[in-house]
Structure 1
Amino acid sequence: MLAVMFNSLLILMPVIGARAVANAYDDRGMSESAADALRLATGRMLSDLAQTGPRDEDRKLPYWQDRIAAELAGHDMAAVRGYLLAAPEMLGREAGEQIRLRAEADRGGTMDERLTRAALHKLPEPIALRIETTGRFRPPGGGAAASAPGEPADSDAEAGLPSPETAGTGEEDAAPLAAEPDAPQVIAAGGMIAEQERRFQLLGSFADLANQSQRWLDGDRSDELVVKLTGLGLVQIDHSDGLSESAALAVSILKSAQRSQRLTPAFTDYLTARADAALPDEALIEALTEAFSGLATSEQRAERVRAAYVETTQHARLDELEADLQQIQRIAMRTSPNGTLTILSVVEDGADLRRARLLTEAGGERLIVLVRERGRDALRAADASISWNRNMVLEIMTLTAAGMLLFWLMLSVVRTYIRLPKPKPEPQGTVPDAS
């Protein structure tokens, strides 16, 4: 009987444990709607922002002001807006409540715009005036309307790029994109392109792609990812079977990020694998070698290169890359191209990219603040939590009871079948005297 119970528990316990784990993660993915996931991500992001910076209430305001001044000196207006939006959480209970009350009393614009205007009053007047007057700052009520945390995006966000002369921020590599001749304009989903966004949305012409492809074919593989992303992006312009229009901005952002070395090595390898699957090296090298053979004018060579990319594109594998590009596009819509560069600097794979997209939809440019303060740990705010419902608790209790019963059976088996030797009886009587 003990053996039957013991073997039964050995079979049932893994089943119960697997069911508990499966229900925990399946319920998390199936029972939570997109709105629930957005709401939970918003709450975790605001909680993380409240823990950012010094713990002393008296030091929170100076720290916040210093961070904004530093980002403003670096011409990163996306980060400036992020710190302004995060002010109610970062400045502590009293100052945060003052900002919320001032924002609620304001009646103009969206909640994010009212919070931005209210947070400006906590800055020194010269800094606040510089933020309001700079051409790269989205004035409240102007440009793309910002929505409250957790609400879906309504329109494209503006670019908010730092000045091209800023060193070390990656924008020095974006300027050559704008200078490329006959660069096609790729319209984002909203239809209107901000002046700064054009610097990221210009993919160049097929003549430029031909020059890049020639260098790549000659052995210069430093820009392999850029070359393939550019080719895939340009294929879409003339052919509907290429990348969608919504992914064109993501391609140009990735080009700038790669050239300015803003991408992590892991994410670069991830994107390279996706691009290689859509444009295999062997087929592309063969097609480009044929395209560059013989004499041809610049126009003819550009047309041959276009045909080479069209013929070698593996459309069945293109969907995987396009799904990632659409995630980047949605991040850019909720923040800005420059803010997207900051966020991509901590992304390492597709899972991180989906976390970043969820957090930008939850808090917009507040995610830039978390990335500045915590690095890659900022993306942990998007990790879904396990829902401890009644079934989950009962399964854990059942698993615990089965474990205790199994332990009792083990002790019973040991006591039943493993017997210790009986002690030898001590001799009785007295020992005779030798004398």
Structure 2
Amino acid sequence: MDQQLEIIAAPPAQAALTAEDVRAAAGRIAGAVVHTPTLHSKTLSKIVGADVWLKFENLQFTAAYKERGALNKLLTLPPEAKTRGVIAASAGNHAQGLAYHAGRLGIPVTIVMPKSTPIVKVQQTRGHGAQVVLDGETFDDAYAIARRIEGERGLIFVHPFDDREVMAGQGTVALEMLQDVPQLDTIVVPIGGGGLISGVAVAAKSINPAVRVVGVQSNQYPAMYLLSRNEAVGGGGDTIAEGIAVKEPGLLTRAAVALHVDEVRVVSETRIEEAISLLLDIEKTVVEGAGAVGLAALLPLKNGAFRPEFAGRKIGVILTGGNIDPRFLANVILRNLARSGRIGRLAILLTDKVGELAKIAEIFTRNDANIIEVQHQRIFGVLSAKGSEVEIEYEIRDKDAVDGLLHDLEQAGYTYEVMTISGRRPGRSQRKL
């Protein structure tokens, strides 16, 4: 193991997770959850320089792996607990998995969700018959509220990750992966609270002790990563990977990670967005931010070089869920098109006279750039009363074509600024009107 986590003793009421727990869970939930495919991606393998296999957990009925652990927990409850009902705190996928299977089994269920939860997840959870309480700004707030309601109403709390039966259910993902693709030597797993990676690591290493298990977190919520470096837990803020936006990992899960996980990494929001777009573009599959962090960790370095620690390995990547808000997905797609140069926006200074805009349009046409939107500005940010600024949004083939467009604008004597996701930057030509 490359990095040791600080091991904090598990709560005495629950013993450490074992491979036998995971196998027992697999037997319980068989037939009630989808044995999702683990498929080889030739294109992604070429992009990252490794042999990449994708586990499509976004093809579960609730579009996420979480229903595995939720169902296993429900099936192990005593009859009187099933009658009283269950409660959980969740950013979405645990809520949907628990609500769906509790409804199917006739068990009353209440879910507390943070107010920031994407509406698609709220609607789907309610659609499964759950009573949804929208309260709290973060998962931790929702968790505290759910525990209070648990005591007030005498419900059974189903933890989204720090529960032995939940962890065991999530571990069945690894059993399926190694059954379908036994040659895997690395499994890359998203980490929020740690329930999935705990189950996966225990199950995978019971089959092949040499398999490498790598956890990945958003750099906005790097709790398990910080623990692996013996640093204080921290993090917070907006992330597109809200499904793993957990500030404090569980006690059971951090102990399991310490014993069985080889490495924990972090990835940026930009890389997560790139991974979402790649999966949609190449695999034609919709994956939420939390589900895309595994692929994000494999993407080449900024200079285009393959990551040497992954090069040539046979890697299983778990696409944990596909419940992404359509508006966020649209933004991710457009932002990635902008980063790749296929969509751009220029602010160009013009002399305010007849025909100038037509000249600009001709330059765009000559470079096969399709103009999407034009905005004209004669007052703010324009130095001369005889000048104007026009902002042009366009689509074009690739970055090489952009270079040709900018060259022609410069040759024609125009001053421009390139508008990017992070702001404006001056063009190469600094000729003033």
Quickly name the TM-score band, shorter chain normalised.
under 0.3
TM-score (norm 1): 0.23
- Structure of higher RCO (CA pairs closer than 8 Å, 6+ residues apart): 1
State the structure with more CA Rg.
1
